[in-house]
Each structure stands twice: as C-alpha cells, then as structure tokens.
Amino acid sequence: MANAGPRPLFMRNDVVDPFVHRRLQGARTLALFLDYDGTLTPIAATREAAVPGGRTVRLLRALVASPDIRVAIVTGRSLSHVPRSIRRCGADLAVDHGVRIVSRQAVWTHPALDDLKPDIRKVYAAAEERLGTIPGIRIEQKRWSVDIHYRQVHPRHVAGIRAMMTRVMGPYAGSLRLTHGKKVLEARPAISWSKGHAILKLLESREYKGALPVFIGDDRTDEDGFLALRGRGITIHVGRSRRTAARYTVRTVPDVLVFLAGVLACRSRDDA
C-alpha cells in the first residue's frame, strides 16, 4: 500500500479525470472487474437486503451487450448468494473471492480446494458450537469458506469473537486463514489466490486478452485486485479511506454508477 493515496476519479460535476477518460476512450477493448457489495450496491444489514437497483441491472446489461466491453463481477459471495438479477445480466462471475470463475465459456475452480473441504466443515462446527449463541451473530458455511458476520452483534462481543475464531483456527493454520472484512471474519483457504489472481486469470483468457482492465472495489480483499493491476489498469476504490493501493477513489455506490454510465456513453460514441 505504499502509495501517495488515491486521486479523486471525478474532478467536478461528474467529469472524469482526463487521463482516465483518454485511456477509456483509446482502449480497443475494456475489461470491467466489479466487486458487488459496497461497490454496485450499498452495504446492507443482511446479505439478502443488498439487492441491486433496476438502474444498476440495466446498466450492467448494457455494458455486457457492448461488443468491446467485457464485464466480470468479482465477489466474496458464493454463486448462490449472488442475486439472480446479477447472475442473469450476462457478466462473468468470479465468486468465493475468485477461487471459482463462472463464465459463459466455462466453470473453473481452483484445484487445491477440494482437499480443504473437511477442514472448512470442522471450523464451521467449532465456530457454531462456541459462538452460535451470541445474539445477532450469523455463522455461514459457504462452499469454500466459513463467514462470521457480526454486523448485528453488540460491540462488546466483537473482541471475544475475534479471539475465539483465532483459537478455533489454530489447528488449521496450514490450510485455512482468517481474514477480516467489513463486519465479517472469513476463514478462507490458505492458498495464494485472491481476487487479484482471478482478475489476472480472466485477463489471460481469449475474451479478455489485450483489454484495458478497470477494477472497482471497496473492501480489504479488493486490495489484492488493485495490486494485481498496478501499472497496468485503472483501479478505483469506493469509500473515504485513503489506505488503498487503488490509484483513484470515489465516495459512494452512486458515484460508481455514474462512472459506469459514463463508460458506456464514451464507448457508444466510439462505436458511432
């Protein structure tokens, strides 16, 4: 994260930084990599409440339909937790923090994952046993991770939850690691794979090859994506923090949508 801090993407009145604008216009093909929660939809109290607006879905569909734009949603969610309207918009999906990529061409899963399934089950059972009675906690076994959501938990419990999860994870230190997101602890495979790897893997595929990559995200796991595209693409952090490896920043989800609409407009003019 050795970075002078991100620059504002918008100069004023929704005018995009001219350097970014020139790159967007000049690229033969664009590859948009988009985080979901906190990027395309505001963070909500529960996952189910974080549904995309109609405008967001229409915008995604229009971007997907553009012949020289590739779109991939890159999310920590499992495929089944990605809202149906997003799954159906035609974008490629890198789910479970990128360990699984579902594109129109193929489904790819990181080869090391199957060995970790028993450990994930055991960590889930231990977390459920030791933390399951805390009011408001939600412990979720996903296909390749265990997520401990504490957004609805009283703050006095949070330090204890962290300490207990660190203990629960002890025996699995070689296979799983604990990461911290926004009000969530995630026990994830300790393989060197991240959203950044998924982005680079997609960029190697035939459909994405040669495209100018753009990655937009808001959370810690998105930093891997920003680092992967350093010196190569346009990286945009959503939020107020300046502690990011992204080159540019916007404040809010609506800003992201304004930017994406601008991308669509600038590329459509290109086609004409």
Least separation in angstroms between residue 219's CB and Mg ion is 4
Residue 68 known to be catalytic:
no
**Could you say whether residue 186 binds Mg ion (CB under 5 A)?**
no
The one segment of 23-31, 57-65, 132-140, 216-224 that binds Mg ion by CB under 5 A: 216-224
Interface residue with Mg ion among 147, 218, 223, 255 (CB under 5 A) is: 218
Stretch 94-133 residues interacting with Mg ion (CB under 5 A): none
Distance CA 59, CA 56 (A): 5
For Mg ion, the closer of residues 119 and 224 by Cβ is 224
**Could you say whether residue 37 binds Mg ion (CB under 5 A)?**
yes
Go through 214-234 and write b for each residue having 16 or more CB atoms within 10 A of its CB, e for each that does not.
Answer: bbbbbbebbbbbbbbbeeebb
Residue nearest to Mg ion (CB): 38
Give backbone dihedrals phi and psi of 7, rounded to 5 degrees, phi first.
-95, 150
The one segment of 31-39, 55-63, 86-94, 141-149 that binds Mg ion by CB under 5 A: 31-39
Of 192, 253, 189, 187, give the one whose Cα is nearest residue 219.
253
Interface residue with Mg ion among 219, 223, 224, 255 (CB under 5 A) is: 219
Of 176, 174, 175, 220, give the one whose Cα is nearest residue 196.
220
Binding residues for Mg ion, rule CB under 5 A, total 5
The one segment of 24-32, 169-177, 219-227, 251-259 that binds Mg ion by CB under 5 A: 219-227
For Mg ion, the closer of residues 126 and 202 by Cβ is 202
The one segment of 20-28, 48-56, 84-92, 210-218 that binds Mg ion by CB under 5 A: 210-218
Which of these is catalytic: 14, 35, 147, 218?
A: 35
Give backbone dihedrals phi and psi of 19, rounded to 5 degrees, phi first.
-65, -45
**Could you say whether residue 83 binds Mg ion (CB under 5 A)?**
no
Are 250 and 10 a contacting pair, CB within 8 Å? yes
**Could you say whether residue 147 binds Mg ion (CB under 5 A)?**
no
Beta bridge partners of 108: 101
So which residues are the catalytic ones?
A: 35
* Contacts to Mg ion by CB under 5 A: 35, 37-38, 218-219
